[in-house]
Every structure is written in structure tokens, then in C-alpha cells.
Amino acid sequence: MARIERFRISHTRKLDSAYRYVTEAAEAGVILNTGTFAGGRDVRVDGVTLKNFGSCSYMALERMPELRDAAHAALDEYGTQFHFSRAYVQCSLYQELDALLEQLTGRPVVVAASTSLAHMAALPVLVRDGDQIVIDQFAHASLHTAVQLLPGVPLEVMRHNRMDILDEFLTKRRSQAGKVWYVCDGLYSMLGDFAPIADLKALLDRHDDLRLYIDDAHATSWVGRNGRGVALDHFEHDERVVVALSLNKAFSAAGGVLALPNRELVARIRRCGGPMLFSGPIQPPMLGAAVGSAKLHLSPGFADLQADLAGRLDLCVSALGDTMLDVTAARSPIFQVRCDSPRVAFAIAEQMKERGFYCCVCVFPAVPMNRPGLRFTVTRHNQPEDIVSFLSALNDSASDALAEVMRTGHTHSMVVEKDPGAAESVA
Amino acid sequence: MCDSSCTNHVAMNAVGIGKQAEAQVDDLMRLFYEVISFEDGGAPDWQSMEGLFSSHARITRITPEAIDYMDLTAFKNMAEEMIELGAFTSFHEREIGRRADRFGNVMHVASAYETKISPDAVDYIERGVNSLQLVSENGGWKIVSLCWDDHAPFSMAGLHKVGGGV
């Protein structure tokens, strides 16, 4: 683990580096695109209709009548905005949403305008003087941002999912006062793997001072009882665990939820969590959509929707076995195909567009420099025949792109200067 | 393109360097890339790396944004922080070209490298040239300066292939 000293690489330099890397990907045309809705199964990206394997709408709820009708009703009643800070007056839809989400999660909840703002509200309240934070190196960027809001709290970054290191750390500091907050994702958004839940449970059993803060945004809705994610299914009754869910992504509305172990914490975060007092509320139409989505999640038929997605995931995992793709994923809607280099990832993405499919590149700084790849998602929008043809196209594109990069990439990047001003290709 | 049969750079340098020094530098450079490389979840072999450097060594890294002037400890701290923050989870670098020039107890080595996600990856992530100055200390060659530009246009000009080259 590394104690973050915050001096080796300056803030400005990090921003400048990020700008350079993002600009390279943007100039390759693989990020910062513009899209229009084309039904979910398809998406129009920069004017071209493509089969959609890049969205986070895992449950394909965004056009279901339960959500649209609720959004329309809220729009009719409140208009587009409820013009109060929640510190003064909150829209009454919040009360309805709170009640539904408490039923859904089995816990007292606080709803925030986004999951990121939920982290920023909760962590400074949860972590007390004398506590320490250990954060997984691949925890979502919003968590890394939120833990920076706690000056004076020792912050350690830990290698991904290395429970042996966490165990050793906890054992070494056993006699010290204060708690250790381990901050992680439930499902990692780029690599598509889960936090080691069973190992975390074992650590909670062994270390009284361990507390967990789990961002389960990407596991919300598609997994768990009533779509409450992977963490709450295992830690619902554990007072030492706080879970954040997303009302965006698969939930198809807006906002974030903190599922808290008791009402005292609800009151503390609601009353002194910065963004709860100083940030704007969720707009009424999206609050209405969240209420509609929560009701759908609590309906008897919701498990069938989850099973429907599970069937498509099984199909994808099975079909991947017929390809040569190097895929790292647990059984989740997020898959990453490892590539030799960003050049290869960009070339595959381009070839997939030409073959009629949209998927995402994932390169540094979104993933480590040695993990460039293609990230694709499987949602209920994806028809079984689309999944099979997508993987076939991806397999072909991966092979073709590598050959193309080897043929042309080296020609452009490898030159030998015989003498100043003269150059020839090595290839 | 120069390769192992090149009679300009290699032969001239070999005469200038001397056979014994040439063998020592071969070993040094092989170890240099071995100790910095590591598998997923691992780390560079810092102890072995320390043995390759003079205790007075300086390491200079140039990026488009800034220049880092470091000693070996500072370099280790920076690299470890980058690893822990997730910039790399593994690292595989190998030498693909070299030119060495000796001036008594001083040697300059231009060492072309490529970084890959794994040793058997077909494409590379980065290519560049490490500029090293070696000094003869207690009968062995040690690195007294290592300097590289992270994003310079790559060129094998004046270098001969090493390890199959590219």
C-alpha cells in the first residue's frame, strides 16, 4: 500500500497529463462522440446507426411506461424544476422515493442528486477523527475524489482486491484507536470484476475496527433482491457497512442512494453532509422517474427482468468460448477485451463501427497503462442474435486490427534516421 | 538499419570499449531491463536495481508536462506511487537497440527499449531511448546517470539491434 503524500506529481501536471491522454483518444475518434437515441438496441453515434454494446442501461428500463408515465406526471405537477434548496424545502416526491427505497434496500436511506455527491456527503460524516481510509486503487474516480475531502485523515491506496494486504494492515494496527474504512466498488466499472465479498465478510469477522464503504452503482438494479445490488444482499444487517447505489445507469432515473445502517446516520448526513445542504436537488421529472423505477423494482415481475438479463449474460459468456478474445470479466454486464496497445484498441473500435457495432475503448487513465482494451456491455436491449453476431465481429476485428496495426503502425512510428533530415521505414 | 553485422557502429565501438567491458555492459543492460520489469501484482526488484547504479546516480525523466530530477530513492518512491495508484499493475520492458561509446572510465550508452503489456504481446505500448552514462567503479561499470524522454519521436538512428530488435 502507498501512503498518498500528495507532493510527487502536482495537481496541474496530473490534469495536463490527463488532458493529453484524453485528447489522443478523442482525436482517434473513439471517445467524446455525440449520439442520438435509436431505440436502445441501436444507437446513432455521430450520425451512424450502430448496434449498441456500450450503454449502462443494463435493465433497459428507460422507455418503460412505469418510468415515463411517472416522469410525465411529475412534470405536469411540478414543472421542470422545484426551485428550493433541500436545506429549506424538498419536493414531496423525495418522501415517496425514500419510502420506496427503504423497502427496496431494507435500510434507512439518503437520496442525493448523484452517486458522486452521495460519496461527498457521506464520507466526511462517516469518517471520524482518528480513523483511517484504505481505498482500492481501481475504486471509482468519484470515490477517490471524495476521500480527498478529508484533510488530516491518513489515506492509503491498496492494490486491487488484495485482501491479504488489507488483512495485514488491519492486523498491524490492531492496538490503535479509530476505525479503518475500506472504500471500494461492488462491481468495478472498467474491468467488470466484483469486490471479493466473501473475503470482506471474513475480514469483518476478524477485525472489529474494519468498516466498509461500497459503491455498488454498477451492480444496482440488475442483481440482488429487488435490484439492491450485490453488497446489500450480503451485508444488509451489518452495521459496519455503508452501501451507495445509483439511480442512474440500470435504474434509468437520476440520483444516488446511501443505504445506511441506522437513522442517526441518515440524520447526520442529511443535516451536515455538504452536498445535501449546498447542492441542487434532483429535478421533479427525474424524481418521478425514480419513483416509477423503484415501484417497478418492488413489483413481483422484476425478478423476471433480472432473469432475462442473466440469460443474455450466460449466452455471452458461452459464446465468448468460441472466440479467441482475451476477456476478463466475472459474470456481470461489463466485459473487457484485453488488447496489446491503445493503438490496437482504437483500431478494433474503428473496425467494429465499420461492421455496425458500438463498443467503448478503455485506455489510461481509465485503466492502467498495461491494461488497454475494449469494454463492452450486455443489456436487455441486446437481442440474443445481436450478441452472437457482435462477438463474431469482435473476434474478426481483433484479429484484423492487430494485423493492420502491425502493418501500418510500425511504418508510421518506426523510422530510422540515416542522417539529419533523412528517414526511411524499418518495415 | 544497423544490425549485428553492422561494421560501422558496432565494430568501432567494440574496439573502443574493449571485450571485457562489452561483456560487462551486456550484463548490466540485461539486468537493467530485468529488474525494472515485473509481473502483475509484483514490483521492480529494487534491491538488484540498487546494485546497478552508482550511489551518486541521478535519474531524469522528461514528460511533455515536466521534468523529474531524481536520485534512485526518489525514482523508487515515484514508481511505487504510480504502481499503487494503478498506473501500472505489471511492467515489461526490453532492450531493442544499443550504441555504446567509451571514453576511458566513462561510457555513454544509448539504449532503445520497448514496453509491452506482456513479453509475448505482438504490439508495444511505448518505444523510446534511454540515455545512460556509466562510470567504472571498483572494477565494474555502474550507472551514474539515466535520462529519457517519455514521448520523444522514436528513432533507431545509430543503434544496433539487441535481442532481435524490432
Write out the DSSP string of A183-206.
Answer: EEESB-TTT--B--HHHHHHHHHH
Which of A296-300, A335-339, B53-57, B155-159 bottoms out in mean pLDDT, i.e. has the lowest? B155-159
All three cell numbers of A227, joined, read 435490484
Which SS3 state, helix, strand or coil, does residue A134 take?
strand
Can you tell me the distance from the alpha carbon of A333 to that of A175, in angstroms, rounded to the nearest whole number?
A: 42
Apex A98 CA angle, A96 and A99, nearest 5: 65
What integer pLDDT is reported at residue A410 of this predicted model? 43
- Joined together, the cell numbers standing for residue A370 give 498495461
Q: How sure is the predictor about A409, in pLDDT bands with cuts at 50, 70 and 90?
A: low
A243-262 in b/e form (b: 16+ CB < 10 A) is bbbbbbbbbbbbbbbbbbbe
Q: What is the mean pLDDT of chain A?
A: 90
Q: Please state the rounded mean pLDDT for residues B77-100.
A: 92
Q: What integer pLDDT is reported at residue A38 of this predicted model? A: 75
pLDDT for res A366: 87
Residue with cell 416522469: A71
Q: Using a CB–CB cutoff of 8 Å, tell me whether B124 touches chain A.
A: yes
Beta-carbon separation of B156 and A416 below 8 A: yes
Cell numbers that stand for A33 in this block: 462522440
Which of A17, A415, A426 has the CB atom closest to B65's CB atom? A17
d(CA B63, CA A17): 9
**B146 sits in which H/E element:** strand B140-149
**CB pair distance less than 8 Å for B66 and A372:** no
From A399, which residue of chain B is nearest by alpha-carbon distance?
B122
Mean of all residue pLDDT scores within chain B: 88
Closest CB to A368: pick one of B80, B89, B124. B89
Q: Please state, in angstroms and as integers, the Cα–Cα distance from residue A178 to each residue in A3, A173, A184, A210, A236, following that order.
A: 17, 10, 19, 9, 23
Long-range contacts of B113-118 (CB under 8 A, 24+ apart): B113/B33, B114/B166, B115/B91, B116/A340, B116/B92, B117/A338, B117/A340, B117/A341, B117/A370, B117/A371, B117/A372, B117/B90, B117/B92, B118/B90, B118/B92
pLDDT at A420 over 80: no
Number of Cβ within a 10 Å radius of residue A18: 12
8-state DSSP, A218: G
Distance from CA of A166 to the nearest CA of B (A): 13
The separation between CA A276 and the C-alpha centre of its own chain, rounded to angstroms, equals 22
Q: For residue A2, what pLDDT is reported?
A: 61
Query: Which three cell numbers, joined as nine digits, stand for A35?
Result: 449520439
The pLDDT score that the predictor gives to residue A9 is 63
Top-confidence residue, A311 or A21: A311
Q: Do residues B42 and B129 touch, judged by C-beta distance below 8 A?
A: no
- Mean pLDDT (whole number) for A389-412: 81
Tell me whether B123 touches chain A (CB under 8 Å).
yes
Give the integer Cα–Cα distance in Å for A397 and A355.
9
Q: Give residue-wise pLDDT tens across range B6-48.
A: 433 443 454 467 888 899 999 999 999 999 999 998 999 999 9
Average pLDDT estimate for A269-277: 94
Closest residue in A to B91 (Cα–Cα):
A370
Give A340's contacts in chain B (Cβ within 8 Å).
116-117, 121-125
Q: Percentage of chain A surpassing pLDDT 90? A: 78
Structure-block grid coordinates of residue A21: 491522454
Provide CB contacts within 8 A for A197, sequence distance 6+. A230, A231, A234
Query: Using one digit for the tens of pLDDT, what is the confidence trace for A38-54?
Result: 789 999 998 999 999 99
* Residues on chain A touching B116 (C-beta within 8 angstroms): 340
Q: Which residues of chain A have a CB within 8 Å of the CB of B121? A: 340-341
- Res. A416 pLDDT band, cuts 50 70 90: very low
Hey, are the CB atoms on B65 and A16 less than 8 Å from each other?
yes
CA distances from A391 to A319, A339, A377, B3 (A): 7, 15, 12, 42
Residue A426 predicted with pLDDT over 70: no
